[in-house]
Chain A
């Protein structure tokens, strides 16, 4: 025991501590229990018809199917890396469904579920992880910004975008995604200060999946993350991130408040990263299998299925049809990935500037000439 021990010891040494069933943890907003029971919450409710419920279920299943296929493609050498959303489907699909058409989302690199809801083609996300481009979708047309790999940087962009919305007196709001690890970055704290100070219409949506690669949440925060918001001067709420209905309700309310001029909200979607950080990671080095087993009982999809089945909103045919659609999607993703053309070498130069400077144009010409000297030229 060194003199330092008391400062480095974590509040709760159990990795993934802060699980909602542990004593001393604050309550979280829940509208659908892990067993698939609808429950009431004093502050939040959600008005979803049967059709939307089925749509939510469909999205949950399809994004998981996409994710599983992408992981397999990476294993087979077709992708450089893949960042799995496994376990976070409800947080992402719920948040995605809360967005209005004119709203803008600023994702990290893991929000494939939001991308899906925003209508981004999975192959345009896959292309990034295959090393073809930096994401193939149009951020303006989809209202879904390109992925940001540098942790936290996007929270400032989202805040600035919200300042623009404010100036334009537009009826829209901005949703900034971040991870639990990201909350430690200076830039994220600056974003929250700006948003608060200027009452910008931005909602910070933090998926607390308990880990930043190997580092458990306790290393980033000694208080539940949603409580941080109070210090910045805006509301914070912890929601069951594996409950798509609760996430939808809480995010809708926060976005509505932002549109209504009430400023930012911090949402902590309490969830768990069921897979590795990315396909390059080996989580057995830093967390226990028992933790995973516990979180399996809180699966975000199983509870929706149980509810739909029990309440008669969906039947076996519906579930079978969604499964089949998932298989089709997976097959399309696989084929699309294998068929994806490699980029032309000149892509290195072509979009660096709005106006290409002459020296770069000269470099590009040299590049083309150099590669023309090899068999097949640049397009090899």
Chain B
């Protein structure tokens, strides 16, 4: 069956299926029950699965993630919702010092099948702490896996795959794209979770993005095509581990690479990718790998977010610079 779904609704259906498929799945978060979450991602789930499976938690993120550890030790599969990206930090200690390390410390005796869902990124006109892109902190932490979805189909399948996966996963949801729609084949075969994907073929420049920036990269490719430039766009989908073989293959053809993310450029994902592409494709490169990202500043008040966020023009500007080498 194919249905046209928003990313938000696809996540809702994916969570519903995970709750149906495995009685050990437990959703926990602030306002996720009666309210259905501030973005309504868990709408209706508490009503249908009960308040011991969809738990409105006390207002305490360290508690949400810390108790998930104990639940996981008892064989549950906790799915934690962090209400907004900027509020994950009270849980940061638990994530970095505990969740990430328990499998290693127990030499595999304790699995941590925990999913931390975080709506991330800007562009919704919010006040501070509601628009951040903290993925690099987590990708820098060995023991955590990090994925970012950009389409309804990936949202629907990805959340189920993440919940079924044995390792802890920070699952990033592009909040400003929650309302974007596409057809999802609910009976289809999902792509693997930890695989990047070429979403538009092209010959001149390879443009890499994930989460909310995939759409921006595709828009840039559309605009570039009108000027006779052919951009290949790759949705990285998985941030840790990275799946760069498709990227290397692409860059070997195009010789040029631009990485786009909302997070600040310094020590962002783009830095890691630039290093790897340079190490692996050095002889194919016609230009240095260029990065388009947030500035090295706090996320600004919303009146300035358009200036802060990478947009089509900034991607094209980087493409021009790449082509100019």
A80 and B56 contact, CB distance less than 8 A? no
- Answer whether residue B267 sits at the interface, using C-beta atoms and an 8 A cutoff: no
A8 and B303 contact, CB distance less than 8 A? no
Interface positions, chain A 256-301, Cβ under 8 Å from B, are 280-281, 285-286
B304 and A345 contact, CB distance less than 8 A? yes
Given the complex, which residues of A lie within 8 Å of B180, measured CB to CB?
Answer: none
B307 and A150 contact, CB distance less than 8 A? no
A285 and B35 contact, CB distance less than 8 A? yes
Given the complex, which residues of B lie within 8 Å of A181, measured CB to CB?
Answer: 58-59
A184 and B126 contact, CB distance less than 8 A? no
Given the complex, which residues of A lie within 8 Å of B300, measured CB to CB?
Answer: 347-348
B295 and A215 contact, CB distance less than 8 A? no
B304 and A343 contact, CB distance less than 8 A? yes
B31 and A214 contact, CB distance less than 8 A? yes
Q: Could you say which of B57, B127, B313 contacts A128, with CB atoms under 8 Å apart?
A: B127
Residue on B nearest A360 in the bound complex, by CB: B296
- Nearest Cβ distance between residue B77 and chain A, in whole angstroms? 16
Interface positions, chain B 25-59, Cβ under 8 Å from A, are 30-31, 33-36, 38, 50-52, 55-59
A343-B303, A348-B308, A360-B296 are known contacts. Are A8 and B38 too (CB-CB below 8 A)? no
B90 and A133 contact, CB distance less than 8 A? no
User: What is the predominant secondary structure among interface residues of chain B facing chain A?
Assistant: loop
A343-B304, A348-B297 are known contacts. Are A149 and B128 too (CB-CB below 8 A)? yes
- Answer whether residue A363 sits at the interface, using C-beta atoms and an 8 A cutoff: yes
Interface positions, chain B 244-293, Cβ under 8 Å from A, are 266
- Answer whether residue A367 sits at the interface, using C-beta atoms and an 8 A cutoff: yes
Q: Could you say which of A8, A134, A215, A359 contacts B296, with CB atoms under 8 Å apart?
A: A359
Residue on A nearest B294 in the bound complex, by CB: A348
Given the complex, which residues of B lie within 8 Å of A348, measured CB to CB?
Answer: 295, 297, 300, 304, 307-308
- Answer whether residue B70 sits at the interface, using C-beta atoms and an 8 A cutoff: no
A80-B126, A347-B300 are known contacts. Are A185 and B60 too (CB-CB below 8 A)? yes
Given the complex, which residues of A lie within 8 Å of B314, measured CB to CB?
Answer: 370
Given the complex, which residues of B lie within 8 Å of A347, measured CB to CB?
Answer: 300, 304
A149 and B296 contact, CB distance less than 8 A? no
A285 and B36 contact, CB distance less than 8 A? yes
- Nearest Cβ distance between residue B83 and chain A, in whole angstroms? 9
> Roughly how many angstroms separate A280 CA and B175 CA in the complex, as a whole number?
15
A80 and B125 contact, CB distance less than 8 A? yes
A182 and B59 contact, CB distance less than 8 A? yes
Given the complex, which residues of B lie within 8 Å of A130, measured CB to CB?
Answer: 303
> Roughly how many angstroms separate A131 CA and B304 CA in the complex, as a whole number?
8
Q: Could you say which of A5, A149, A370 contacts B317, with CB atoms under 8 Å apart?
A: A370
Fill in one digit per residue for A95-138: 1 if any B CB lies within 8 Å of its CB, else 0: 00000000000000100000000000000000011111110000
Q: Could you say which of B58, B266, B301, B308 contacts A220, with CB atoms under 8 Å apart?
A: B58
> Roughly how many angstroms separate A213 CA and B36 CA in the complex, as a whole number?
12
A80-B125, A149-B128, A367-B295 are known contacts. Are A343 and B301 too (CB-CB below 8 A)? yes
> Roughly how many angstroms separate A343 CA and B308 CA in the complex, as a whole number?
13
Given the complex, which residues of B lie within 8 Å of A374, measured CB to CB?
Answer: 313
Q: Please tell me the number of chain B residues within 8 Å of chain A, measured between CB atoms.
A: 44
- Answer whether residue A318 sits at the interface, using C-beta atoms and an 8 A cutoff: no
Given the complex, which residues of B lie within 8 Å of A215, measured CB to CB?
Answer: 30-31, 56, 58-59
> Roughly how many angstroms separate A214 CA and B43 CA in the complex, as a whole number?
13
A149-B128, A285-B36 are known contacts. Are A352 and B304 too (CB-CB below 8 A)? no
A186 and B90 contact, CB distance less than 8 A? yes
Residue on A nearest B34 in the bound complex, by CB: A286
- Nearest Cβ distance between residue B82 and chain A, in whole angstroms? 12
B59 and A151 contact, CB distance less than 8 A? yes
- Answer whether residue B67 sits at the interface, using C-beta atoms and an 8 A cutoff: no
- Answer whether residue B63 sits at the interface, using C-beta atoms and an 8 A cutoff: yes
- Answer whether residue B298 sits at the interface, using C-beta atoms and an 8 A cutoff: yes
- Nearest Cβ distance between residue A106 and chain B, in whole angstroms? 16
Given the complex, which residues of B lie within 8 Å of A133, measured CB to CB?
Answer: 301
Q: Could you say which of A131, A212, A342, A345 contacts B127, with CB atoms under 8 Å apart?
A: A131
Fill in one digit per residue for A144-158: 1 if any B CB lies within 8 Å of its CB, else 0: 000001110000000
A134-B128, A149-B129 are known contacts. Are A184 and B63 too (CB-CB below 8 A)? yes
A219 and B56 contact, CB distance less than 8 A? yes
Given the complex, which residues of B lie within 8 Å of A228, measured CB to CB?
Answer: none
Q: Can you report 19 residue pairs joining A to B where beta carbons are below 8 Å apart? A: A2-B52, A4-B52, A109-B127, A128-B301, A150-B87, A151-B59, A184-B59, A185-B59, A186-B90, A187-B90, A212-B59, A215-B31, A215-B56, A215-B58, A215-B59, A286-B34, A347-B304, A359-B296, A371-B307
Q: Taking A213-B35, A215-B56, A359-B296 as given, write out 10 further A-B residue pairs in contact, using a Cβ cutoff of 8 Å, ordered by the A residue number.
A: A131-B127, A181-B58, A186-B90, A213-B30, A214-B34, A215-B30, A215-B58, A281-B38, A348-B295, A363-B296
A residues bordering B, Cβ < 8 Å?
2, 4-5, 7-8, 80-81, 109, 128-134, 149-151, 181-182, 184-187, 212-215, 219-220, 280-281, 285-286, 342-343, 345, 347-349, 352, 359-360, 363, 367, 370-371, 374, 378
